[in-house]
Amino acid sequence: MSTALPLSVQAGVGLPVTGVRLAVAAAGVRYKDREDLVLIELAEGGTAAAVFTRNQFCAAPVVVAKEHLAKDPVRYLLINSGNANAGTGDAGMRAASESCQLVATLAGCRVSQVLPFSTGVIGEDLPLSPFEKSMPDLISRLAENAWEQAARAIMTTDTRPKFCSVEIQLSAGKVTLTGMSKGSGMIRPDMATMLAYLATDAQVEPALLQSMLDEAVAPSFNSITVDGDTSTNDACVLLASGVSGVSVEAGSADAQLLQAGITQACMYLAREIVRDGEGATKLVEVAVEGAFSESDARAVAFTIAHSPLVKTALFASDPNWGRILAAVGRAGIEGMDINAVTISLDDVVIVRNGGRDPAYREEDGQRVFGQEAFQILVELGMGDAVARVLTCDFSYDYVKINAEYRS
């Protein structure tokens, strides 16, 4: 696949980032006997950048986190799984604020230096007592080597933790970037995915850090889909502790290197979300080339990536190109000539000039569709714009998970 990552991204590795400490607790927000609460501490003087869901129905913690972020430098991130604190009205806003206040009181910072995050069931009141009970312990156990535990504690329907590290050699020294994400359903991020946190010990001023995060999110979290449903709680946060003493200035070669590391880590974490999509058995990149505009290319790619008929064909390992072509045709692109469209499955051309390629053999298509990961490439023959979207298949288990789990 063309999204193959360079070796520098260490999958399933959570290297400590100096200046960033984490702790987890089994607070019992909803789950019994598993960790569901995470506190992340950023060293004084560190910087933070964040992107949030563009769903207009955003959860109380998203509202509170945005307010706090605008007011004061970030010191703590407080994340619970099991309850989204969404659709909970004024009580939800109070719960989000009060959970931050618990951290601020014990840690000796301002309440607006704490950002709250929640993921889980929508529409149920967030109880405060699990936070009260666990907070002293959480703060006392903060440590730099707890990324994997944190990645596990933020899971909901995820079947495995998602985390990685990148070490980047800059001109003034080496910096480390570690990140984690969670998400499996209600995935069609429109700004950021469900929840993702990354941290580096580089020193980066806030505006540059935000622009780096924005650039990294576009081809990663904003280019994946499981079911087309944008969550109410999406958030992605990038922290820079600066503790390494390695400063990165806008426009420098170092900034380009750090950007590459951040983007690659985000792409790994985003890809892991799709690979762990609810009920998913396949990971498919839909690439669209030759569009007039990027928005056209993305419209075609997402129409294919969301089509229940394409997704059930993926599940069945049936190279049913008619369903792909039908999705291209209904994507609403002005001036498209369906007779100029070419579709390939990895290296196998299946559709040429809007119809089945005369040289296509069914067994070649089936060989590609039988794989766990492959690419569907659509060439529109209209212009130069491209888009790439990651998606997964639609299986019995997607229905089972979502008919049984109240998210």
The residues annotated as belonging to the active site are: 193
- The owner of tokens 């280019």 is 223
CA distance 296 to 381: 12
Nearer to a second copy by Cβ, of 320 and 371: the residue is: 320
Closest approach of Cβ 263 to a second copy, in Å?
25
The contact mask relative to a second copy for 35-74 (x = CB under 8 A, - = no) is -------------------xxxxx----------------
Residue 362 is a binding residue for a second copy (CB under 8 A): no
Q: Which residues of 3-14 are buried (b: 16+ CB within 10 A; e: fewer)?
A: bebeeebbeeeb
Nearer to a second copy by Cβ, of 199 and 327: the residue is: 327
Nearer to a second copy by Cβ, of 19 and 92: the residue is: 92
Closest approach of Cβ 253 to a second copy, in Å?
39
Residue 291 is a binding residue for a second copy (CB under 8 A): no
**Tokens of residue 345, six digits:** 């499955």
Among 71, 160, 174, 330, the residue binding a second copy under the rule CB under 8 A is 330
List the interface residues with a second copy, window 189-218 (CB under 8 A). 190
Residue 302 is a binding residue for a second copy (CB under 8 A): no
Residue 386 is a binding residue for a second copy (CB under 8 A): no
Residue 185 is a binding residue for a second copy (CB under 8 A): yes
Return the closest-CA partner of residue 216 out of 184, 255, 243.
Answer: 255
- The DSSP letter of residue 143 is B
> Cα dihedral sign for 183, 189, 194, 200?
positive
Closest approach of Cβ 330 to a second copy, in Å?
4
Q: What are phi and psi of 268, to 5 degrees?
A: -60, -50
Q: Enumerate the β-bridge partners of residue 291.
A: 385
Length of the chain: 407
Torsion region of 392: left, alpha or beta (phi above 0 gives left; psi -120 to 50 gives alpha): beta
Write the CB contacts of 125 (distance below 8 Å, at least 6 apart in sequence).
88, 91, 92, 95
Closest approach of Cβ 357 to a second copy, in Å?
10
Residue ranges that bind a second copy, judged by CB under 8 A? 54-58, 84, 86-89, 92, 121-123, 185-186, 188, 190, 227-232, 306-309, 312-313, 315-316, 318, 320-323, 325-330, 333, 336, 338, 341, 351, 353-356, 394-396, 398-400, 402-404, 406-407
